[in-house]
Copies of this chain bind each other. A is one copy, B any other.
Amino acid sequence: MTNSKPNILVVNDDGITAPGIKALMHVMKEIGRVVVVAPDSPQSGMGHAITIGKPLRLDKVDIYEGIEMYSCSGTPVDCVKVAVTKIFKGKKPDLCVSGINHGLNNGINVLYSGTMSAAVEGAIEGIPSIGFSLDDYTWQADFSHTLKYIKELALQVLANGLPTATLLNVNFPAGGHIKGIKICRQANAKWAEDFDERMDPYKRPYYWISGVFQVNDNGEDTDSWALDNHYVSVVPIQFDMTAHHAIPVLNSWKFDV
């Protein structure tokens, strides 16, 4: 970071009109020069999807005074890619922040979440990146208690950087009684799916995905534990998916081919 104000890319998955991104961009405006590139419609659950079968649209919009904003027809990851390439034109921003998501992204949700995938893409691009999420799925969610933590975490990342090829997954409990920040690991937790089967007017079935989030982890060092105990959870995330510990196991196999 130079002495000039840092350039900050703000993205999300709930769409450009979401209250969560409004809260996030206003905190970032206290720190640096903000550019917002967000989906033109909700993109929750889009994971690390990119748009390759159809073209993208990118429109400059004027919603909040004094903030440079673009609406993109693509996924959260598309937003980061197009921002870096077409808006920042290869001069990387100093920070990429994603969110604030309306809903938690702890445990395995980092893989399903468009919010977190946008932050992962920022990190792949070599930008210090953070995803923020709140345990409130409603459009009326109150983000006010999260703002001082978001500002502090962003300032720390700008000042310290992050270990190579990592980013932060930050989740907030709902409500104002936060005890502090806990550095955590991702909980062993997954969705036990169900599908709500209905019949359309033409007598053909259709399905809505549903499910229950199951934490199969008693550790007190997990994001799920921290959130249950009124802490802000901060999990360092990596995008190298190699299971290094499994390499010797596989090397012991004898292949008959």
Chain A residues engaging chain B, CB cutoff 8 angstroms: 42, 44-53, 55-58, 75, 77-78, 81-82, 84-86, 108, 110-112, 117, 120, 124-125, 148-149, 152-153, 156, 160, 162-163, 165-166, 168-169, 180-181, 183-186, 188, 190, 193-195, 197-198, 204-209, 234-247, 249-251, 253, 255-257
Q: Which of B52, B183, B184, B207 contacts A56 (CB 8 A)?
A: B207
Complex-state Cα separation, A168 to B241, whole angstroms: 11
Whether A243 and B251, one on each chain, are in contact in the complex, defined by CB atoms closer than 8 angstroms, is no
Whether A238 and B234, one on each chain, are in contact in the complex, defined by CB atoms closer than 8 angstroms, is no
Across the two chains, which residue of chain B brings its CB closest to A42?
Answer: B53
- Residue numbers in B under 8 Å from A125 (CB-CB): 190
> Could you tell me the distance in whole angstroms from the C-beta of A173 to the nearest C-beta in chain B?
15
Whether B50 and A186, one on each chain, are in contact in the complex, defined by CB atoms closer than 8 angstroms, is no
Complex-state Cα separation, A74 to B80, whole angstroms: 24
> Could you tell me the distance in whole angstroms from the C-beta of A159 to the nearest C-beta in chain B?
9
Across the two chains, which residue of chain B brings its CB closest to A81?
Answer: B193
> Could you tell me the distance in whole angstroms from the C-beta of A53 to the nearest C-beta in chain B?
6
Closest 7 CB pairs between A and B? A47-B48, A236-B246, A238-B243, A55-B206, A236-B243, A49-B49, A152-B257
> Could you tell me the distance in whole angstroms from the C-beta of A209 to the nearest C-beta in chain B?
6
> Could you tell me the distance in whole angstroms from the C-beta of A101 to the nearest C-beta in chain B?
13
- Residue numbers in B under 8 Å from A246 (CB-CB): 162-163, 166, 236, 238
Complex-state Cα separation, A52 to B14, whole angstroms: 13
Whether B249 and A241, one on each chain, are in contact in the complex, defined by CB atoms closer than 8 angstroms, is no
Can you report 21 residue pairs joining A to B where beta carbons are below 8 Å apart? A45-B49, A47-B49, A48-B48, A49-B75, A55-B206, A85-B193, A111-B117, A125-B190, A152-B256, A152-B257, A156-B255, A160-B253, A162-B246, A165-B243, A166-B246, A180-B255, A180-B257, A185-B242, A236-B250, A237-B241, A241-B241
- Residue numbers in B under 8 Å from A250 (CB-CB): 168, 183, 234, 236
Whether A207 and B86, one on each chain, are in contact in the complex, defined by CB atoms closer than 8 angstroms, is yes
Whether B183 and A247, one on each chain, are in contact in the complex, defined by CB atoms closer than 8 angstroms, is yes
